Structure formats: C-alpha cells, structure tokens
Structure 1
Amino acid sequence: MPDAATAIRGAGLRVTESRTAVYDALADRPHASADDVFAIVQPRLPVTSRQSVYNALGDFAEAGLVRRIEPAGRAMLFELRVGDNHHHLVCSRCGAVRDVDCVVGHAPCITPADNHGFTVDVAEVTFWGLCPDCATDPH
C-alpha cells in the first residue's frame, strides 16, 4: 500500500495534514465509520474537526481512493481496498466486517438473471451471519 501522500496525490487530490491523518487511520483500521476515523484522527491531530474528516472521506470516495460500504441498518463504512470487486461478510450481532475475495471468477463475479440492457461492471455482495466469536457466545 502506498504512503498517504503518494496515494492522495495519485488520486489527484491536494495533500493536507487532515487528509493524511484520515488516510493513515483507514490504513490502520479498515471498515471504519466516519466517527471511528474521527476518533482515531482527533488525538493525533487535535485541530481536526469532525467535518474535515467527513470532507476528506467524501473527497477520497469521489476520487476512487476509498470504497464506501453500506451494510443495511449500519453506519456507512470506508476502506482503502478498492478496484478489486471483493465482497464482505458482516456479523449480524456485533457488526464485525471481513473481506471476501471475488466469489467466483473475474468481476463482476455474479451474472444477473436479467441485466435489463445494463453492462455490468461490478457486483457488491454482502454475506450476513455470525462471526466466530458471536457464534460460540449464546447471548
């Protein structure tokens, strides 16, 4: 994974202290919500506002530097792993998220029964269940 400045410049964005801190936070914690990222960035860069974190995440997503994950009923999550059409496992109890490589073959991995004339590039699949810790805990 490239360092923050290289990745941010490579996405066509200006390198700032706040953007660098947000990138580094996502490198340390994949599948983080905006609030999680802010909680990581704020102690490292006390002058950072919650809004600057949201702005950086939005800029990163628009530039293709991060991927937004939107599990139903959960906060939007962000990750640096982009462009490989991977999928996710989400624990329906604790919310843990794990990456799953492309289900079968090459992107889009799955073919819809009827594509209604669309050219499909990517498929997003979310598998729901219990993580190993929750599966062994009866509560």
Structure 2
Amino acid sequence: MSPDDHKHPEGAEQLLRAAALRVTGPRVATLQAVRGNAHADTESVIRAVREQLPSVSHQAVYDSLAALTEAGIVRRIQPSGRVALYESRVGDNHHHLVCRSCGLVVDVACVHGTAPCMAPNDDAGFSIDEAEVIFWGLCAECRPSAA
C-alpha cells in the first residue's frame, strides 16, 4: 500500500481493520483529515472532518483521534507550550523543527536511523525504545523579522 492510499476511504478502512478498529464514518474522516493536514491541531481536524460529515460531534472526532493514536495509525505531538498536533507519519523515527515565532512545524529525519536515536547516560533500568526530539528555532520566514 502506498502512502497516498491512506488519503482514500478504502486505504483508511484497510488501516482501521488492520489495527483491529471498527470502521466508522468519523474514524475514516478523521484519518483522512490528519493525512491531508500534516501537524494539524484538533480544531483543524474537526473543521476538515465536518467538510465530509457536517453533523459530526467534537467528541466523535476527539474519540477518533484517541483511537487512531492508541492504535499507532496517527502520532500526537505536543511541543512545549503549544496545543497537541496530529500527523499520520508514524513508525519512521523522525523528529520535528518548530519555529518559536510563527509555530511552523516541519518533519526532519533522524540522522541515526533506528529508534531510539539517542540514549540517556543512565537508563534507570528502563528498556528504552523511542526518543522524541524537537528542535526549536526561527524558520526562514521569521528569521529576517527577528534580526
């Protein structure tokens, strides 16, 4: 299945079934909304879902986001001091760049490849399987205005 397959209802339905999730209109529409809007906040997802399902409730979208995240189909990130964002790029050990000024979020590949890409100097007995890295700075658009 190609990445673009997830934009179509059939691809979304296959992903839900593969994750042992019941296929519902709100779940399919929520997954499509996240696929179509990288790093979307909840309100953006709700607006996109309502373009397909005008009467869908906020709670149905929240529940769908929770189920998709729990199943690993969608990833939830929450940069410090920001609202939660959702993306459909999962399982590839990538990180994020966040602009301190405008809030732009950009995916960046991990230079080390496999997870976890780094390890603490003391693992405190944990079996570590993931590291989440957020790089902060100013994007190209905001950098000139900050000078």
TM-score by structure 1 length? 0.93
Match of 2:59 in 1: 51
Residue of 121, 126, 133 corresponding to 2:134? 126
Match of 2:87 in 1: 79
Contact 2:93–2:113 (CA under 8 A) maintained in structure 1: no
State the distance in 2 between where 1:77 and 1:44 align.
21
Q: What residue identity is the alignment partner of 1:79?
A: E
The count of aligned residue pairs is 139
Match of 2:21 in 1: 13
Note the aligned Cα RMSD (angstroms).
1.4
Report matched runs for 1:29-108 at 5 Å.
29-108=37-116
- Structure 1, unpaired ranges of 5+: none
Q: What residue identity is the alignment partner of 2:53?
A: L
Q: What residue identity is the alignment partner of 2:73?
A: L
**Partner-residue secondary structure (3-state), 1:137:** helix
Superposed displacement of residue 130, structure 1: 0.8
Superposed displacement of residue 70, structure 1: 1.0
- Structure 2, unpaired ranges of 5+: none
State the distance in 1 between where 2:61 and 2:44 align.
10
Superposed displacement of residue 113, structure 1: 1.2
State the distance in 2 between where 1:82 and 1:117 align.
26
TM-score by structure 2 length? 0.89
Superposed displacement of residue 90, structure 1: 0.6
Range 102-111 or range 82-91, more displaced: 102-111
State the distance in 1 between where 2:44 and 2:113 align.
33
